[in-house]
Amino acid sequence: MTRKMMTGNEAIARGAYEYGVRLGAGYPGTPSTEILENFARYPGIYAEWAPNEKVALEVAIGAAMAGARALVTMKHVGVNVAADPLLTLAYTGVNGGLVLVAADDPGMHSSQNEQDTRHYARLAKVPVLEPSDSQEAKDMVGLALEISERFDIPVILRTTTRVAHSQSFVQVGQRQEVPLRPYQKDVQKWLMVPAFGRLRRQALEQRLSALREYAESAPVNKIFPGEGKIGVITSGISFQYVRELLPGASILKLGLTYPLPEQLIKKFAAGVDRLLVVEEQEPFLEDHLKQWGIPCAGKAIFPAMGEFSTALLRRCLQQAGILPAAAAEGAPDLSDMPAAPVRPPVLCAGCPHRGVFYLLNKMKLLVTGDIGCYTLGGLPPLSGIDSCVCMGASIGMAHGIGQVAPELGRRTVAVIGDSTFMHSGLTGLLNVVYNRGSSVVLILDNSTTAMTGHQDHPATGRTLLGQEAPAVDMVALVRALGVPHVVTVDPLDLKAMQQALEEALAADGPAVIIARRPCVLLRKLPPNPVAVDEDKCTGCKTCLKLSCPALSVVDKKCRVDSIACVGCNLCVQVCKFAALQAAQRGETNA
Ligand SMILES: Cc1ncc(C[n+]2csc(CCOP(=O)(O)OP(=O)(O)O)c2C)c(N)n1
């Protein structure tokens, strides 16, 4: 055994490898993405990116049904997408163990909402484990697989951003080869028609009550005895903060947070004078305790939204009079530290799709957007997108607008990335065709899933394991869905782009424009900066409307940062005074 520093995500991948997982499937999403990327590097396993989380889970269910240990990874909002198979999987159960890693993002570092996956565990009636560091993250993969096989149920491993991305030491061991469990035809277990479903519904209650009993002595539900005055019930990363802030407290650290060990909790509560529940996000543990009539304080002291930290919890404990205000004296005074400069998120310099948002704004269109780098096109000064709800929503929303307000619909465009189109755009577009809508859909195809770090998808021509794959022909695919008007445009050509938009908006029936240019970060381009003719530059700042980080106006003259500029020439096209000149090295614009 050797010790290695690992992030929680690396440790989960290592755990999956060591505990004999044969198949890993997922869809990228922060903070879960690196789990599958790391798992894919191990020998003797199979890993894949699926087009969305529902498909990923379905693939893992197939593997588990065939008797293999399987892992499926996603971010919290991905659980919504996978919820449909998940809730029935709880009925069928598994054969080989199945672990669903759901990475929650308290504080929304890079997500469209906050969600506490423990509620899904309760809804689906499946167990949930919560690690508080990398070692636990690895160990809990093994435990989750064991529980899954022993109780015939999928297990959720819930991490949060802080656990997923921070590093701590992990004991690294060997891979255990776990033989396939034999598959036996059993339609009552696997064929969820109502008659069999009802039987499995009852079986699920029995499995849950066995799990409740197991929870009472589960090794991951641990008491750390203290002085007995203050008792804390906690889980996940909050455990680390509590240990640091309240060294004298008795702590019940819950690693298995659904189903909960009622007797253990009651016994622990009876042994302390004052009971606190410290949990990030929702009052999940607290609600259970209150339901059992156990007096405790949780969300009355600690917030139910945002991410916790030692500093935040210290303040809460001081305000509640649990820590003396003087405790702050021991902490370094950081009040005179300069604040980190505010850097609003922007599209990369040279992003070939930036000009599209400039145009959408200029043309005063209503733009339903989607999730990806291109969501940034909604921020000023581009201001080219009006909405963003969830992956795939842009197309359905544009259709809805068109159905109730046809005039507005004719000025509406749905914007979606290529990965998102594969994830859940296809069904939205099919719906437009089927229901005789006439929405205009603009697919910004940058040949990758850029926002989450350049993962492949069914249209990129490569798999997660680095093999070549058939790249879906997007034009043929869109035509096959029944869209009559399909054109492909180079988004760096603003005139052509504007013409394509006008034609699509004027067309009868649904129209799709595929704006195709690979992400600038996929090709290491030699810097090929635009030049400024200062005599012609009037300092009008029109070029700044592109929100390109390579451009600024200093002393009333445009300045181009020659390191950042890759010569996409969008600014050359918007300059009315011909003050910006494309550097003539053809390949950058090819
Ligand atoms: C259900 C769900 N799964 C995963 C994510 C994480 N995520 C945000 S954007 C995105 C895809 C972006 O790729 P693409 O549509 O190609 O746009 P790009 O970033 O390349 O512009 C993903 C996977 C999410 N927000 N929601």
| Strand (E) or helix (H) holding 46 | strand 46-49
Nearest CA to ligand 1 atom 4: 29
Tell the residue nearest (CA) to atom 22 of ligand 1: 29
SS3 of residue 198 by DSSP: helix
pLDDT band at 337 (very low <50, low <70, confident <90, very high): confident
Judge whether residue 526 has pLDDT over 70. no
Measured from the CA of 29, which atom of ligand 1 is nearest? 6
Pocket test for ligand 1, best of 419, 442, 443 (most atoms within 8 A of CB): 419
Does 449 contact ligand 1 (Cβ within 6 A)?
A: yes
70 lines ligand 1 (CB under 6 A): no
Whether 81 shows a pLDDT value over 80: the answer reads yes
Which atom from ligand 1 is nearest to the alpha carbon of 457? 16
Closest CA to 525 of 386, 348, 395, 264: 348
Residue 344: pLDDT band (50, 70, 90) is: confident
- CA–CA gap between residue 267 and residue 264 (Å, rounded): 5
For residues 157 and 99, give the distance between their C-alpha atoms in angstroms, rounded to a whole number: 7
Closest C-alpha to ligand 1, atom 1: 78
Task: Give the model's pLDDT for residue 340.
Answer: 80
The atom of ligand 1 lying closest to the CA of 375 is: 21
Other Cβ atoms closer than 10 A to 150: 13
Q: 447 in ligand 1 pocket by Cβ < 6 Å?
A: no
Nearest atom (ligand 1) to Cα of 416: 15
Mean pLDDT of the region 261-270: 98
Judge contact between 156 and 117, C-beta under 8 A. yes
In this predicted model, what pLDDT tens digit does every residue of 184-208 receive, in sequence order? Answer: 999 999 999 999 999 999 999 999 9
Q: What is the mean pLDDT of residues 552-562?
A: 94
Please tell me if the CB atom of residue 161 comes closer than 6 angstroms to any atom of ligand 1.
no
Q: Is 218 in the pocket of ligand 1 (CB under 6 A)?
A: no
Tell how strand 155-160 and strand 128-129 pair up.
Answer: parallel
| CA nearest neighbour of 350 among 568, 560, 515 | 568
pLDDT level of residue 589 (50, 70, 90 thresholds): very low
Would the pLDDT of 554 be above 70? yes
388: Cβ below 6 Å to ligand 1?
Answer: no
84 pLDDT more than 70: yes
Give the Å distances, CA to CA, from 318 to 45, 246, 302, 312, 326.
50, 12, 11, 10, 9
**Centre of ligand 1 from the C-alpha of residue 137, in Å:** 25
Residue 77 phi/psi, 5° resolution? Answer: -70, -20
Nearest alpha-carbon partner for 514 in 475, 485, 469: 475
Q: What pLDDT does 525 receive?
A: 65
Say if ligand 1 is within 6 A of residue 393 CB. Answer: no
What pLDDT was estimated at residue 328? 53
pLDDT for residue 564: 86
Ligand 1 centroid to Cα of residue 417, in Å, is 8
pLDDT over 70 (residue 175): yes
**Given the CA of residue 28, which atom of ligand 1 is nearest to it?**
23
Q: Whose CA is nearest to atom 11 of ligand 1?
A: 372
Q: State if residue 355 touches ligand 1 by the CB under 6 angstroms criterion.
A: no
Torsion, Cα of 565, 569, 575, 577 (10° steps): 100
Task: Give every CB contact of residue 237 below 8 A, 6+ residues apart in sequence.
Answer: 132, 160, 162, 163, 280, 308
Candidates 54, 420, 455, 520: which one to mutate for ligand 1, based on the most atoms within 8 Å of Cβ? 420
The mean per-residue pLDDT over the stretch 421-430 comes to 98
Task: Tell me the pTM.
Answer: 0.93
447 φψ region: left (φ > 0), alpha (ψ -120 to 50), beta (else): left
Whether the link from the prior residue into 31 is cis, omega within 30° of 0, is yes
- Nearest-CA residue for ligand 1 atom 5 is 29
In tens, the pLDDT along 354-383 reads: 999 999 999 999 999 999 999 999 999 999
Residue 481's closest CA among 510, 505, 458, 457? 510
Cα 11 to Cα 34: distance, rounded to the nearest angstrom = 10
